[in-house]
A and B are shown apart, each in its own frame.
Chain A
Amino acid sequence: EVQLVESGGGLVQPGGSLRLSCAASGFTFSDHYMDWVRQAPGKGLEWVGRARDKANAYTIQYAASVKGRFTISRDDSKNSLYLQMNSLKTEDTAVYYCATSSLAFCGGDCYRYWGQGTLVTVSS
């Protein structure tokens, strides 16, 4: 059974930092693209970024809204995805999900599997 479990959310002041983790199990993590998607309270889904696999040089892609402030990384030896968030703004308040799909399924471009999400609140 595929499982994605996010952790690390919490309350942080504007300008602060937070690191989220996503622990994966039930599939071959190393050959999956892994994405972060967020959802502000009462709002829609917003893509944060993607970590591609080794075969794609571990390329990282970011949404314009977070580029330069957020850093995505992965550790295939730990089956884990990370999101380092710096210079946080109140508008970064959201539930952060990690999501993935097999490359053999929609070319890895849809999200067959989602975690339960972790809430990040940026407030003074």
Chain B
Amino acid sequence: SYVLTQPPSVSVAPGQTARITCGGNNIGIKSVHWYQQKPGQAPVLVLYDDSDRPSGIPDRFSGSNSGNTATLTISRVEAGDEADYYCHVWESSRYVVFGRGTQLTVL
């Protein structure tokens, strides 16, 4: 089965740039979606189709996807960005795969 690999945690100082990776075999040919989840809340879509932002998501959130790695980049990190982040793909239109999540800590 298809596996998405995320680092368990990423730490960054306020105002700096956070990069969260999502590794998968040839993930570059898939559409990757990213979610932010804060404690006790439902996930929120922050990027879809690798790099598109839903309305209401600040342009500090950006994404890329190539080869075996997709990346969520958060620029000018704020305290309110502290959350768990999950990547997501559909595998051959047969089933959904989520990464195990990355906890973003703002120092």
Contact = CB atoms under 8 A, between A and B. Distances in A.
B23 interface: no
A109 B33 contact: yes
Interface in B19-75: 31, 33, 35, 37, 42-45, 48-49, 52, 54
A115 B95 contact: no
A70 interface: no
B95 A106 contact: no
Looking at chain B, what size class is its interface with the partner chain? Answer: 20 to 34
Looking at chain A, what size class is its interface with the partner chain? Answer: 20 to 34
B107 interface: no
Given A47-B98, A61-B95, A110 B42 contact: no
A103 interface: no
Given A97-B42, A109-B33, A110-B48, 13 more contacts: A44-B86, A44-B98, A44-B101, A45-B101, A47-B95, A47-B98, A106-B49, A109-B31, A110-B31, A110-B45, A112-B45, A114-B43, A115-B42
Interface of B: 1, 31, 33, 35, 37, 42-45, 48-49, 52, 54, 84, 86, 88, 90, 94-101
A47 B35 CA distance: 14
Contacts of B44: 114
A48 B34 CA distance: 18
A45 B98 contact: yes
A114 B44 CA distance: 8
B51 to A, nearest CB: 12
A45 B45 CA distance: 13
Contacts of B88: 45, 110-111
Contacts of A117: 42
B103 to A, nearest CB: 11
Given A35-B96, A45-B35, A114 B48 contact: no
